[in-house]
Structure 1
Amino acid sequence: MNQLQSMRVFVKVADLGSFVGAAGALDLSTAVVTRHVADLEARLRVRLLNRTTRRLSLTESGATYLERVRHILDDLEGVEQMVVARNQEPVGTLRVVAPVVFGLHSLAPVVQSYAERYPDVMPDVTLADRHVDLVEEGFDVGIMVARQMRSASIVTRRLTTGYMTVCATPAYLEQHGTPTRPEDLLTHPCLSRPAEQGSDEKVFTGPDGEVRVRPTNAIAANNTEMLRQFALLGMGVAILPSYLIGRDLASGRLVPLLGDYHLPKIEITIAYPSRLHLPAKVRTFIDHLVAHFQQTEAQSRDPRAMTPVRSAGRSPVAGAPVYADDLPVSALPPVEGARPLRKPSRGHVAAPSPI
């Protein structure tokens, strides 16, 4: 029998846990499905499945073989799909879901530039801070912030990395003093979302290693944009994601604090249902997203962007310099000797605010 087909049959039997179920899914007879698996075992001289009257289970060798075969079949499908996709144009509705704050502050520019490049695709963006089942709810692409998704039918890919920033208004710092160490937060009202595990402990890494503090929140809120508004009103020291407050730091409305310490990074990933038969609209949007944020990261690593920047109309607060790598590229003042950014041409990936 055809070895490649036998591999496909074996994967289907393993996924469904049944010869009968695999036969129905593949439109084959149960006898043919059984024969394919038996031929594979004979060829490999090893048992891949344990069979009882009640159920099937993978042997240790079967589990190892399944994992490798799945990758081989996925790669083969990907090659065939790539060849076919060259003659396909991205068209139709593209359903995208993303967390509310990240979507509002970082997603609009990339959706706009994608829509310009592929006018036959209509982006349909949903913002939600709940768990989303991409397959069941019919989304083509999902963006996840600090959340893992494990499913055989879902593929994930790193998009970018975010950073939590401790900050406050100049007026608040003038009145209450400027924290210089994580322990100083214990004497200030703080504005941050509680950790998902139910603990408010913050873990900083600094010159002397790890520092754990449990600051007292001044107010409870389940949305970081609301916490940003409270911070701008001078209600306390805020701990907020960099993609949310870039413009506030650039304008001097907020001042970054604890420059010698950092909090754990925020991993931002793309998720989409299976790489098999990926529509051109999905493939091109994912590529566009990745290129967009890769350009952002490259610019944020540019040494020229590491010079301190004075806030417009304000003097920096003592001990709290503002660095250009915390700010949106469009908000940076000119760097002496640097060439101005060129206006992006149609379809070019514009530089978004860094995470």
Structure 2
Amino acid sequence: MDRLTSMAVFVKTADSGSFAAAALAFGISSQMAGKHVSTLEERVGARLLNRTTRRQSLTEIGQIFYERCKALLADAEAAESVAQELSASPRGRLRITAPVTFGANCLAPMIARYLKGHPHVLVDLTLTDRFVDLIDEGYEAAIRLGALTDSSLIGRQLIPYRLLVCASPDYLAEHGEPRTPAELADHACLSFVYMTRPVAIEWHFSDAHGEYVVPVSGPFHANDVKALRAAALHGAGVMLAPEVAVQEDLAAGRLVRLLRDYETPARPMHLVFPASRATPKLRAFINQVVAEFGPDTVQDGQFEAT
């Protein structure tokens, strides 16, 4: 027999004074109500009720056991209420990880909007360009760049992560503007360097006529897009930049987009999460990320400066 059910029958019997009343409350027979209490007595090894023909009363041990059972049943009911409340509305801590540049420029402002609509959620956002194992490290979702390889996670496709070539007006006034990818060989190119990979010494382009692989070099490498952007703004060279990191500079004229007739590779971007962790707070987060950054809602070139 289920122990909690037996405890509930026992408490009801003690409160009402009879097996018949307890049986009526639970929709069972009086004999079954008595069986629930007898099972508890066998389990604890002591009599819990004094049985008479008219009324059941608690023994000394039964009184102590009764008080503990009432507390336990109240805790169980409270736990169910909390679980039902959690399943109905987003609340609690939500741990998210994302690439540094997209996370700082796009995801963080979106999270601010998400929190306004879900005031009972607390978001922990970790920005890192390394691969994060969601299960082992306890994250509920991640923004991932590149092709998906982990089949154990559910993925939602987002807008591609687009790169643009740009430089400051001062740099272009001094060195001229490259008109083709090949002309980048004569320019100082600012390169992103990964901690675990060598400096990117080739930039890739394409147009209607084919693809172009261009060796580049320059005086400055960094593992942070903000540092490269600062160098580009101060005229240090040409930058291959994530669109999200320079869109405001392009719109304001602080940077100028170059080689508009050529496309650079756009990396796939996804929101990934374990199916087992799809809580209300995570489902609401997923819905908002897809609404704001999904391929059907954000058109290619929306952030492009004119």
TM-score (norm 2): 0.66
Q: Secondary structure of 2:96's match?
A: strand
Report the Cα distance in structure 1 between the residues aligned to 2:85 and 2:207, rounded to whole angstroms.
49
Q: Tell me, yes or no, if the aligned pair for 1:164 and 1:264 is still in contact at 8 Å.
A: yes
* Structure 1 counterpart of 2:182: 183
Question: Which digits, 9 at most, give the CA deviation of each residue in 1:278-301, with x for residues without a partner?
Answer: 211111101111001138x64645
Give the C-alpha shift of residue 156 in structure 1: 2.0
CA distance in 2, matches of 1:277, 1:269: 17
Mapping of residues 56-71 of structure 1, within 5 Å: none
Partner in structure 2 of residue 19 of structure 1: none
Higher CA-based Rg: 2
Aligned residue type for 1:266: R
* Deviation (angstroms), 1:220: 1.6
For the 8 Å contact 1:85–1:280, the answer to whether it is kept is no
Task: Indicate the SS of the match to 2:206.
Answer: strand
Asked if 1:170 corresponds to 2:169, the answer is: yes
Q: Which residue of 2 aligns with 1:93?
A: 93
Match of 1:210 in 2: 211
Off by >6 Å, runs of 4+ in structure 1: none
Q: Give deviations 1:116-158, integer Å, cap 9, x for gaps.
A: 1111111111111222111111111111123534142x22221
Q: Does the C-alpha gap of structure 1 residues 235 and 161 become closer, same or farther in structure 2, counting only changes over 3 Å?
A: same
SS at match of 2:88: coil
Residue 161 of structure 1 is matched in structure 2 by 160
Partner of residue 44, structure 2: none
Which of 309, 316, 326 is 2:304 aligned to? Answer: 326
Number of aligned residue pairs: 221
CA–CA separation in structure 1 for the residues paired with 2:211 and 2:103: 32
The answer to whether the 8 Å contact 1:201/1:215 transfers is yes
Shift of 1:177: 0.4
Q: Which residue of 2 aligns with 1:77?
A: none
Aligned partner of 1:310 in structure 2 is none
Q: Distance in 2 between matches of 1:234 and 1:92?
A: 46
Separation (CA, whole Å) in 1 of partners of 2:193 and 2:112: 33
- In 2: Cα distance, 1:277 partner to 1:150 partner: 16
Give yes or no for contact 1:156–1:271 (8 Å, CA) kept in 2. yes
How many angstroms apart in 2 are the aligned matches of 1:220 and 1:194?
A: 6
From the superposition, tell whether residues 124 and 325 of structure 1 become closer, same or farther in structure 2 (CA, over 3 Å).
closer
Is it true that 1:279 corresponds to 2:289 in the alignment?
Answer: no
Partner of residue 266, structure 2 = 265
CA distance in 1, matches of 2:303, 2:103: 21
Match of 2:142 in 1: 142
Given that residues 291 and 297 in structure 2 are in contact (C-alpha distance below 8 angstroms), is that contact kept between their aligned partners in structure 1? no
Which string of whole-angstrom CA distances, capped at 9 and with x for unpartnered residues, describes residues 20-64 of structure 1?
xxxxxxxxxxxxxxxxxxxxxxxxxxxxxxxxxxxxxxxxxxxxx
Aligned partner letter, 2:304: D
Residue 107 of structure 1 and its aligned partner are, at CA, apart by 1.0
Q: How does 1:46-125 map to 2 (within 5 A)?
A: 88-125=88-125
Q: For residues 87 and 132 of structure 1, do their structure 2 counterparts lie closer, same or farther at Cα, with a shift above 3 Å needed?
A: closer
Q: Aligned with 1:203: secondary structure?
A: strand
Residue 351 of structure 1: aligned partner: none
Unaligned runs of 5+ in 2: 1-83
- Show the counterpart of 1:240: 241
Matched, 1:293 2:293: yes
Amino acid at match of 1:209: G
Contact 1:149 1:156 in 2 (8 A): no
2-structure distance, mates of 1:100, 1:255: 23
Instruction: Report the secondary structure of 1:161's partner residue.
Output: coil
Q: Return the alpha-carbon distance in structure 1 between the equivalents of residues 136 and 298 of structure 2.
A: 38
TM-score by length of 1: 0.58
Partner of 1:349: none
- Quote the Cα distance in structure 2 between the aligned partners of 1:95 and 1:139: 5
Alpha carbons 2:164, 2:242 under 8 Å: kept = yes
The question of whether the paired residues in 2 share the 8 Å contact of 1:156 and 1:269 is answered with yes
Structure 1, residues 245-269: CA drift from partner, whole Å, max 9, x if none? 0000010000000011011112111
State the alpha-carbon separation in 2 of the partners of residues 85 and 156 from structure 1: 27
Identity %: 36
Contact 2:157 2:294 in 1 (8 A): no
Q: RMSD across aligned C-alpha pairs, in angstroms?
A: 2.4
SS at match of 1:326: coil
- C-alpha separation in 1, matches of 2:87 and 2:126: 30
Please give the per-residue CA displacement for 1:52-99, whole angstroms capped at 9, x wherever unaligned.
xxxxxxxxxxxxxxxxxxxxxxxxxxxxxxxx9996211100111111
Q: What is the CA–CA distance in structure 2 between the aligned matches of 1:291 and 1:246, rounded to whole Å?
A: 20
CA distance 1:130–1:87, change in 2 (3 Å): closer
- Residue in structure 1 matched with residue 127 of structure 2 by the alignment: 127
Q: Deviations over 1:295-328 (max 9, x none)?
A: 8x64645xxxx8xxxxxxxxxxxxxxxxx7514x
